[in-house]
Amino acid sequence: MPRSQPCRVFISYARKDGGALAQRLRSDLAKEGFDVWLDTQRLAGGTVWSAEIEHEIDTRPVMIALLSPGSDTSEMFRAEQLLALDQGKRVIPVLAVKESRRPVYLYAREYRDFNNDAIYATSFRELLADIHSDATATCLTAIARLP
């Protein structure tokens, strides 16, 4: 994958209880060279946020879905993943809070456990491996579709 075209990743989370981990993952993934979209970092004042979120899901081949009690009750969180899955995107569930429920459409997918700070480094390496396992093909295909 050319350096000038980093893999584009979308982080889906519930603001109620997933924001801190979302920010940390965004920062750490960016350090690894990924172009990471997180609503708190990229939405400008006055933006129609639903349209911007849809656009970003459309143009990013990988989504990380942070599972928390707040995400279990967030319709927007669920809609983001369903849109990504409908488009054939790679959705990687991440357990942000211990014993969080997974939506049925993510239940059969392997998840990464980030609910314990003591294992963050190990979990992050696993997440990187997940993204890299097919990221070259997935990201290059998505880049080719960009206008």
Q: Pick the closest to residue 130 from 72, 71, 64 (CA basis).
A: 64
Q: Three-class SS of residue 45?
A: coil
Alpha-carbon distance 44 to 26, whole Å?
18
* 109-119 exposure pattern, b = at least 16 Cβ within 10 A, e = fewer: eebbebbeeee
| pLDDT per position as a tens digit, 11-46 | 999 988 999 999 999 999 999 999 999 987 655 666
Predicted TM-score (pTM) of this structure: 0.84
Where do the domains of the chain lie, and which CATH numbers do they carry?
8-145 (3.40.50.10140)
Give residue-wise pLDDT tens across range 39-71.
Answer: 876 556 665 578 889 999 999 999 999 999 999
